[in-house]
Amino acid sequence: MTSFLKSTMEYYHESKFIVIIPRYNINWNVVHKKPQSNKTIIATIPELEQILQELRKQNLKHYLIFRVLIETGMRKGELITAKLSGLHLNDRYIDGVGKTGDKIYFFSRGLRNLLKIYFNERKKLNINFGELFLTKQFKPYGTRSFNLKLKFVRDKLGIEKNITCHTFRKTINTLRKKLKKCPNEDAKILLGHKVQDVNIESYTILDIEDQRNLYDEYNPYDNANF
């Protein structure tokens, strides 16, 4: 850039074309570091317990939002767009719309009891938005809100690991495998992934009860202090 500007000034010397090139406030020889990836980061159950316990002290709604993300493995965007009408408390699941179409995500009995309280209060709001979770201004959340809140909690707790909302999805999938020996096909079904098997995808019909039983069988958080 410096060479280009100097040559330009030389070329247009007669017309007195001058550019002031910064010397002190800009480092032209900066070496950009490769950004650190968190693709391999998995949260531990004690870290999840810490995060949820801190959120519960701060704000019950935020606690519920993150507990849903942790227990279901939903993507952040799926939870943001989840509807009040898509929360099925008796069957313990929530509807989500993701990259591969409609999905259902199950949650624990303990979370269901807390969501019942929230659901009854949420129904009383006379507003036009149908989203399950709304900001304190009664509007849908933006895509950055959850990660910003999570970073604030991590910093307060001194958790240096870059745990994001997407980390929860990878964590539950990994812990199902490590702690519960969950078969790969069942893990994919529980996360709403396409199963690359014609027999499973096209000829095996799992109803709500079957899938909920799968969730309970392979729930890595059944003994967690959430």
The DSSP secondary structure of 118-154, one letter per residue, reads HHHHHHT---S--BSSB-TTSSBPPSSHHHHHHHHHH
The CA-CA-CA angle for residues 71, 76, 78, to 5°, reads 90
Domain boundaries, the chain: 45-217
d(CA 44, CA 161): 10
Find the DSSP H helices in the chain.
Answer: 2-11, 45-58, 60-72, 76-81, 109-123, 145-157, 165-180, 184-191, 198, 208-217
Q: What is the mean pLDDT of the chain?
A: 85
Identify residue 83 by its one-letter amino acid code.
K
Identify residue 89 by its one-letter amino acid code.
L
d(CA 94, CA 85): 9
pTM for the structure as a whole? 0.78
pLDDT at 16: 65
pLDDT at 18: 72
pLDDT in tens, 75-113: 999 999 999 999 999 999 998 775 556 788 999 999 999
Provide the edge-to-edge strand list for the sheet that holds 93-98: 87-88, 93-98, 101-106
Q: Domain 45-217 is in which class?
A: mainly alpha
The pLDDT of residue 199 is above 90: no
Residue with the bigger pLDDT between 200 and 62: it is: 62
pLDDT in tens, 15-48: 666 777 666 555 656 666 655 567 789 999 999 9
Residue with the bigger pLDDT between 170 and 36: it is: 170
